[in-house]
Structure 1
């Protein structure tokens, strides 16, 4: 950026701020341990906001029996909790739906890291808070520093307590405000003794174990550091949004610049030491790639890659910057990220760099603003054999001979053309011919060939065409200027050609990298299972790395090879140990790392969105450069997400099956609880009445009770039969037999079975005198028809009609059963044959029809039986005036009937 150009806001920062519009604000009261007063301070501040007229409500607060904390809830609206049954206990949890319905301006939610009871909408309370924030509700919450995910292992080493309830660090970093509630360790221990933290024996145990002075001091430091770190991030984001150029030295940030020389790793270690001296300041290691001067030395790329790996192992962030203007690229990054300290290597600047203004050190000194510069002298260079690979020779006659041959040929052609023009024309500017030959040579083969061609052109032009001819003596001073032009053109065109060629090569490499990543992304997105995704990842990573690749996935807490390219290989004990380390610790292991570097593989954890999905190993290859390393790592990132997505897809299918099973079980239990218990209650009531009062009852009353017992027993038998039939259908145990059947006979048998239940309904038959027989199972067909007739009886009012008809067309025999019930809503017609499907009752339905409609299995069983015999079933509704339903069963004929015979 030019010095006189005004600073502009960072687009990414503005975009992040725009995404927060409409979202609630989160304030976290952060403390070092329980008992420092986080809840007390939150409630006190909440009461102040309430007094200012803000709509404040308490979503959940944990007082732990502290009377002073309980007293603060007076005057505040405390929302009721909801009970959740878990293992025979009733747990009271935060009512998120009630909070969303109440929608206060500010909601106080205690214990941010709390784990909700199973059965809650979200597993963690911080998930509840995220939903509240998305709804636009401001939330205040409390958190102890030991609950941060990144500090769990540190806290365990310090206190010996393994924290189970954790919050991701990113959630705290996204908080709009952090207020540290702080006490000295001595004050907190006094509160513990006074019973203001825990009660009775719990307080004594906590004082001896967790609340030791040294533990509290360490936790206090972590809380203050974490709060300062978050505030520093907020400052940087505010500067980016406002387009404010740094640095603001509110907190130290260190930038270490490395090149591809042997001292890169020494610079990284110096940056670590400086960060330690500045109280563990944040530091970043950066390397600048210049598209106009790409490095051709493979050792340079390896040094940079090793230095960046070392930086990550030492706790630094690493970044690769791109820009032609090296000082401006570095300073632009420093201004954006509020860098206060810049560390770079000390090397003597060449005079031409200083004169041309190309000295990085001098440019940074002049334009660094408020950032301090640290120049580190040459430390111990890398002694790694791979790093000691000499760069390719800058000049090689054998390597560049095509260019020299081309230059020689162009000069020969120029001489021939000049001889021709010199003999047959006068006044021709022969120098332009030689200049053109130099220009063409430079454009095609670059600097060295152009310089060689210019030297040869100067000699031949002077020898053959300048006075005195056939002599190397320069006759005129103007010829010196001509020769200088020759050399200048050669140098400029050759240099430009070299730059264009290097940029074209770099662009080609990047295009190839993008193409490879796109191909890998497409193949990975098409993988349906974890094994498929692992195999695609192994193949793509192997192609990018130029060596063998292995992907290992967890199986019953063991890490097993799942895919490999060109094939799955057996790892030795050392390699497997490195792979397990990468899986368990979440960091790279093996060659090129600080863990088991002697093995011939490098293993990376495959980290997806939710966590680690597996491990990928790449065999060490000596010729692999930094670009290939970055390509492999990019593919591994894509592969991790793909494997995780495949795992989630499999879990989703399994969960969907479980949900269907739960839904079926719930519907079955509902059916049993209502449709089976109702007839049982009637049977038991009637039987009890007969036993207790049988002798005193009138004969007609006894007969009615006995009839009720028989009807309800038959009804119960039908329900049990339906359930058994559905079990046979679901389990694939339904066996069908095939014989020639006259459908009219089956219809008559089915009507006879339901005749007594028709009561006042009128059943009309419409059968032809002759009907073609069909091959089917008569027992299943009769049961299907009975189920349809019972459905028509259940939904048809008293006095209505039921029509049963049979007819045939060329290929099928069709059975139609019509009723005059309320009909089926259009949206439900296609779903009426689903299990436990019941259409909502209209208000004018008679109670008897409601009682007798059944478990919702009749039509589903009829559909299953019909399709098992090769037939089809369908429903049509309404028939007339918005009422009536027709159920059609179509059974195929063995041989189609000729149209003239119908």
Structure 2
């Protein structure tokens, strides 16, 4: 089934507003009131359409509905009757400002994207469409126990309380029960009453009014008040596989809503959990899902002492109220095991404990459930193991008896056998049977008279009793230790996996690596096929497929249908796919890798054959949480690096502007001043003065040209746009070309070329190396007094040519040498005009030389002066046929 992306004009809109027209029963006029308000909205200029409205049996409502545009509907035949469903894709494509959708709690027709209609409405709201809808309050999840007590059955179609509580507006359509009954009878629609009496209608009305009042009260408090409530109260509901557990969860949810506080649902996993029947496991999963729908945070702890685990969790989590169930009050006996409630009162007397009795049919189901849970679970293999161990103990007992060992040694041997039975078998019933059989066997084979169950010694009954108790106790302790060891190994395995995942994620450096590491870790943990999507601009890119069997085909995971499910998860920030209520006909269960509302990726895990259980789901969420944190850290690191680069570029721009504004002033002033004098008073100057003024203008202009060349070269280097055009060149020709372009002031200096070799070839970009030589020679002219000697020489050493430019000026201080090649650095020198230097020349020389794969350095020229030396790759003579 295809999914439709919301139109562009909707993607920028805020969350749509939900208005619910609620009442307590059919026929109160909810749909008509909704249409009347829609008429007002249309008159106000809104674009209003009907997405789905069932009004065939109400003539007035149908007449008013015909004045609106109606979108196409989905149809399906269910139980011999035609059922109509909302066409969500058509609604998103039409994209109205306001849409009318009847019956919020309805279950969708087959082949729909979502299982429930309220999920369709949530997607419309997320797309920015306002929604009007109707609801009978008896379909709200948390009040199903009250509905059951009134009508004798719960509503089959339900909505989570959050949908009702988070609606923008709830319009309660109220009518007296007597008037409602008369209206339905007069319009010959008495079958809609379904046998409901006036008292039942009155009770439903009262529940509806109270539920709306609770919703209003929850929003009458300000944020500060709600925060104070949360810090003061914390409700804990105990989860189990009992049918009556639904009532406990709903009661706790109503309490949490009334107190506006935290709500946690706790499941204590004991050793009996591994032998729980598939039906009970399904019921437990349904109870966990119900608690999640009602806003609970699901937690799991491990241990056989349920009361102790609940008490410790309550202390650590700040729980203030505990809600649990009990079927009736146990009869008082002289010796009995304390109930769960009594243990909790003893362990945590400071907490409020609310007991929800299991009455009626739920109580009978719960009692039957407990009887089923108490039935022993045995396997043929466990019985064979027990029999073999007892036979082995008996044979060794015969040896002890033959060699004259005392009966105490044989008794100890049987106790050891019972302990081995407890360790080697899965069922705790085996240790009980082995304890009983070992007493009978010892009596039959090793007490007088032998080979008989009679006993002559009057002390034997006590011996048998002590032996039985000792065997049973040691067997129970061994079984309990084995169970604890297994759970400890399970917890250690989970901790190891999470630690390993965290370590692997820390080594990843990119988003692709982090998501890939996450998928590989999930493949290792669950041994299921994994699909991993990265997200670019809120769109999933081509997925990575990780298969358990490399020979299998990944095509079913890359279909358009699977990609649409992943896109839906990205758009709605909710899980979807197999095992969920959204797009459940896909191959995988898809979950987002997210922190809050920020989604970094989507992971799909194959679950069409076998859904994930609660333990696997908790591990999956933990791994995805670690991955989300790693992706968030990686994103923050990239933003930090980008900010550092931006700050560096800003600093570079600031320094460049500051240098330009300072250093351009002098040559521009000189050029403009000399040009103005020549234009205004040219006739007053003699030929020699004019020549000097022309020379100054030329020198200043050439300085500006060289500055612009350096600036352009620096900008190209910073942007990575400087491309080398390397060729084989003669060094003496490159030096000669550079000397033709140096400063005119070089005439006042002695330039010497020192070369002992006739031909030296280099693999260089000649134009750039010419600029390097010009900049170094100009730097020597600038910082040495007139008449100084500047010498240029080169030689080949190995695969490099070393070019040196030396002067006999004042030299460079040791403090300045480490910074001489830094950008915008210029050493002050009183002999030369340091104000005419921007500190770009030598920095550009270093960049060009490094781009050639060489190095540049500065050393002292004894007795005084400096030597700049740089290296470039040597070249060979190219022969052409």
Q: Secondary structure at the match of 1:399?
A: helix
| 1:789 Cα deviation from its structure 2 partner | 0.9
- In structure 2, C-alpha distance between the alignment counterparts of 1:264 and 1:841, rounded to whole Å: 83
| 1:226 Cα deviation from its structure 2 partner | 1.3
- In structure 1, C-alpha distance between the alignment counterparts of 2:533 and 2:587, rounded to whole Å: 16
- Which residue of 304, 315, 326 maps to 2:295? 315
Provide the residue aligned with 1:602 in structure 2.
Answer: 589
Provide the residue aligned with 1:297 in structure 2.
Answer: 276
Matched, 1:283 2:267: no
Q: Secondary structure at the match of 1:473?
A: coil
- Which residue of 613, 622, 634 maps to 1:625? 613
- Which residue of 239, 243, 254 maps to 1:262? 243
| 1:512 Cα deviation from its structure 2 partner | 1.9
Gaps of 5+ in 2: 1-124, 132-214, 548-553
Contact 1:293 1:499 in 2 (8 A): no
| 1:721 Cα deviation from its structure 2 partner | 3.2
Contact 2:528 2:606 in 1 (8 A): yes
Q: TM-score w.r.t. structure 2 length?
A: 0.63
Contact 2:578 2:589 in 1 (8 A): yes
- Which residue of 335, 341, 344 maps to 2:321? 341
Matched, 1:839 2:839: no
- In structure 2, C-alpha distance between the alignment counterparts of 1:880 and 1:223, rounded to whole Å: 88
Structural mapping, 1:164-243, within 5 Å:
224-232=221-229, 236=231
Q: 1:628 to 1:301 in 2, by over 3 A?
A: farther
Q: 1:704 to 1:468 in 2, by over 3 A?
A: same
Contact 2:229 2:260 in 1 (8 A): no
Provide the residue aligned with 1:417 in structure 2.
Answer: 399
Matched, 1:738 2:713: no
Provide the residue aligned with 1:721 in structure 2.
Answer: 709
Matched, 1:857 2:840: yes
Q: 1:814 to 1:282 in 2, by over 3 A?
A: closer
- Which residue of 346, 366, 382 maps to 1:400? 382
| 1:633 Cα deviation from its structure 2 partner | 0.7
Q: Secondary structure at the match of 1:406?
A: helix
- In structure 2, C-alpha distance between the alignment counterparts of 1:780 and 1:746, rounded to whole Å: 10
Contact 2:852 2:873 in 1 (8 A): no
Provide the residue aligned with 1:689 in structure 2.
Answer: 677
- In structure 1, C-alpha distance between the alignment counterparts of 2:716 and 2:667, rounded to whole Å: 24
Structural mapping, 1:871-886, within 5 Å:
871-876=854-859, 885-886=866-867
Structural mapping, 1:666-705, within 5 Å:
673=661, 679-705=667-693
- In structure 1, C-alpha distance between the alignment counterparts of 2:570 and 2:721, rounded to whole Å: 42
- In structure 2, C-alpha distance between the alignment counterparts of 1:220 and 1:790, rounded to whole Å: 83
Per-residue Cα deviation, 1:41-73 (whole angstroms, up to 9, x for no partner):
xxxxxxxxxxxxxxxxxxxxxxxxxxxxxxxxx
- In structure 2, C-alpha distance between the alignment counterparts of 1:312 and 1:436, rounded to whole Å: 47
Gaps of 5+ in 1: 1-151, 159-217, 237-250, 897-902
Q: 1:295 to 1:703 in 2, by over 3 A?
A: same
| 1:671 Cα deviation from its structure 2 partner | 5.9
- In structure 2, C-alpha distance between the alignment counterparts of 1:871 and 1:554, rounded to whole Å: 43
| 1:806 Cα deviation from its structure 2 partner | 4.5
- Which residue of 451, 467, 473 maps to 1:486? 467
- In structure 1, C-alpha distance between the alignment counterparts of 2:248 and 2:636, rounded to whole Å: 43
- In structure 1, C-alpha distance between the alignment counterparts of 2:466 and 2:703, rounded to whole Å: 111
Provide the residue aligned with 1:47 in structure 2.
Answer: none
- In structure 2, C-alpha distance between the alignment counterparts of 1:537 and 1:392, rounded to whole Å: 42
| 1:632 Cα deviation from its structure 2 partner | 0.6
Contact 1:606 1:616 in 2 (8 A): yes
- In structure 2, C-alpha distance between the alignment counterparts of 1:712 and 1:354, rounded to whole Å: 114
- In structure 2, C-alpha distance between the alignment counterparts of 1:568 and 1:536, rounded to whole Å: 22
Contact 1:414 1:437 in 2 (8 A): no
Per-residue Cα deviation, 1:294-322 (whole angstroms, up to 9, x for no partner):
65437566655543443333233343345
| 1:678 Cα deviation from its structure 2 partner | 5.0
Matched, 1:462 2:443: yes
Q: 1:461 to 1:775 in 2, by over 3 A?
A: closer
- In structure 1, C-alpha distance between the alignment counterparts of 2:318 and 2:329, rounded to whole Å: 28
Q: Secondary structure at the match of 2:521?
A: helix
Per-residue Cα deviation, 1:483-532 (whole angstroms, up to 9, x for no partner):
22332232122211211211121122222222222232233223332223
Contact 1:254 1:342 in 2 (8 A): yes
User: Which deviates more from structure 2 when the two are superposed, residues 609-618 or residues 479-488?
Assistant: 609-618
| 1:731 Cα deviation from its structure 2 partner | 2.0
Matched, 1:535 2:512: no
Structural mapping, 1:394-793, within 5 Å:
394-422=376-404, 430-442=410-422, 444-445=424-425, 447-560=428-541, 562-566=543-547, 567=554, 569-570=556-557, 579-591=566-578, 593=580, 595=582, 601-608=588-595, 611-620=598-607, 621-622=609-610, 624-651=612-639, 673=661, 679-726=667-714, 730-741=720-731, 743=732, 747=735, 750-751=738-739, 753-754=741-742, 756-758=744-746, 762-763=749-750, 765=752, 767=754, 770=757, 773-776=760-763, 780-793=768-781
Contact 2:754 2:791 in 1 (8 A): no
Q: Secondary structure at the match of 1:470?
A: coil
| 1:474 Cα deviation from its structure 2 partner | 2.0
Contact 2:743 2:778 in 1 (8 A): no
Matched, 1:817 2:825: no
Per-residue Cα deviation, 1:557-596 (whole angstroms, up to 9, x for no partner):
3344533332575477876665445434434345555555
Q: Secondary structure at the match of 2:525?
A: helix
- In structure 1, C-alpha distance between the alignment counterparts of 2:250 and 2:407, rounded to whole Å: 69
- In structure 2, C-alpha distance between the alignment counterparts of 1:712 and 1:852, rounded to whole Å: 10
- Which residue of 370, 373, 391 maps to 2:353? 373
- In structure 1, C-alpha distance between the alignment counterparts of 2:499 and 2:332, rounded to whole Å: 44
Contact 1:794 1:852 in 2 (8 A): no
| 1:478 Cα deviation from its structure 2 partner | 1.6
- In structure 1, C-alpha distance between the alignment counterparts of 2:450 and 2:873, rounded to whole Å: 110
Q: Secondary structure at the match of 2:380?
A: coil
Q: 1:796 to 1:426 in 2, by over 3 A?
A: closer
- In structure 1, C-alpha distance between the alignment counterparts of 2:217 and 2:697, rounded to whole Å: 77
Contact 1:304 1:626 in 2 (8 A): no
Q: 1:825 to 1:507 in 2, by over 3 A?
A: farther
Q: Secondary structure at the match of 2:727?
A: coil
- In structure 2, C-alpha distance between the alignment counterparts of 1:701 and 1:635, rounded to whole Å: 84
Q: TM-score w.r.t. structure 1 length?
A: 0.62
- In structure 1, C-alpha distance between the alignment counterparts of 2:312 and 2:379, rounded to whole Å: 42
| 1:758 Cα deviation from its structure 2 partner | 3.7
- In structure 1, C-alpha distance between the alignment counterparts of 2:475 and 2:666, rounded to whole Å: 98
Q: 1:535 to 1:680 in 2, by over 3 A?
A: same
Contact 2:439 2:464 in 1 (8 A): yes
- In structure 1, C-alpha distance between the alignment counterparts of 2:684 and 2:592, rounded to whole Å: 84
Q: Number of paired residues?
A: 652
Contact 2:390 2:414 in 1 (8 A): no
Q: Secondary structure at the match of 1:814?
A: strand
Contact 2:238 2:266 in 1 (8 A): yes
Q: 1:221 to 1:792 in 2, by over 3 A?
A: farther
- In structure 2, C-alpha distance between the alignment counterparts of 1:381 and 1:800, rounded to whole Å: 109
Contact 1:293 1:502 in 2 (8 A): no
